[in-house]
Amino acid sequence: MFFYASKILGFFTQPSNFIAAICVIGLALVLFNRHRIGTWLVSFGILLLLVLGYSPLSNVLLLSLTERFPQWQDGGRAPDGIVVLGGAIDSDSTAARNSLEVNAAAERVTAMLELARRYPEAKIVFTGGAASLIEATLSEAPAAGDVLRRFGVAPERIVLENDSRTTEENASLTMRLVAPKPGERWLLVTSAWHMPRSIGVFRKAGFDVEAYPVDWRTRGWIDASETFDTVSAGLARADIAMHEWVGLVSYRLAGRTSELLPGPKKP
């Protein structure tokens, strides 16, 4: 039930969908002679489009997430295992083309391969099932497994979890699958903007992981004053940021995390 609710809520709270919805409603009201409220809604939608599409607000919303966790440092100790969250592989296109097809979060895959090479003794766990609400899609995990094997990673090092549909399921199902031992060091690889929520649910599941953020999308707080050249660029960034903020709030309210905005553990 939570999966369906999260997908529906996520759809309507993304700025691009919200703007489109209120503009359509406003236009319909104008056509039905409710000119005042209809015009107000359309005007409000256009204002939101311009603000989120061109102003630095979208960057600020994203930076408040991406800058929560710093880049990982190994401190001279190799990890025992590396957990990589799905969301970067277009599994249907990969199967159709017989070639790896990735999206804008491709850094999750490149980091997975780089870490597998750098730490040859570490287990590589990929967690990601079919998360589409509308259409039946293939799981990402088998595609990730094929990529790892093609790059020479030994099969006994690869662990695939292909049933999860949400971040909370990523954590709980992976915890059951790998059963980490006390004292082991595990990394969690996902997009920097997705890291706070991911760390929160892994902590809630009792899986102690260290953040390995990738896919930052910005240069850092220097971009907090940067405007966008196109509406589509700013709106796309706003969609990502708002999706995560809504996810953080809903996960906290549902008890799936213990903090609204998880951060690094205090020494």
pLDDT tens figures, 38-85: 999 999 999 999 999 999 999 999 999 999 999 999 988 999 999 999
The per-residue pLDDT for 1 is 58
The per-residue pLDDT for 224 is 97
6 pLDDT higher than 80: no
The per-residue pLDDT for 138 is 79
- Bridge partners (DSSP) of residue 217 are none
Beta strands per DSSP E along 120-260: 123-127, 158-161, 186-191, 210-214
Whole-number Å distance between alpha carbons of 203 and 255: 12
The per-residue pLDDT for 127 is 97
Rounded to 5°, the CA angle 232-235-240 comes to: 125
Share of the chain above pLDDT 90, in %: 84
The per-residue pLDDT for 3 is 56
Whole-number Å distance between alpha carbons of 54 and 226: 9
- Bridge partners (DSSP) of residue 127 are 85, 161
pLDDT tens digits, residue range 159-210?
Answer: 999 999 899 999 999 999 999 999 999 999 999 999 999 999 999 999 999 9
Domains and CATH numbers, the chain: 2-66+228-253 (no CATH), 81-214 (3.40.50.620)
Closest CA to 83 of 186, 12, 172, 10: 186
Whole-number Å distance between alpha carbons of 60 and 136: 35
Q: What is the mean pLDDT of residues 85-90?
A: 94
The per-residue pLDDT for 131 is 59
In the block, which residue shows the tokens 């595990």?
186
Structure tokens at 226: 């940067």
Whole-number Å distance between alpha carbons of 199 and 188: 8
The separation between CA 118 and the C-alpha centre of its own chain, rounded to angstroms, equals 24
Give backbone dihedrals phi and psi of 143, rounded to 5 degrees, phi first. -65, -40
Using an 8 Å Cβ cutoff, are 53 and 104 in contact?
Answer: no
Average pLDDT of the chain, as a whole number: 92
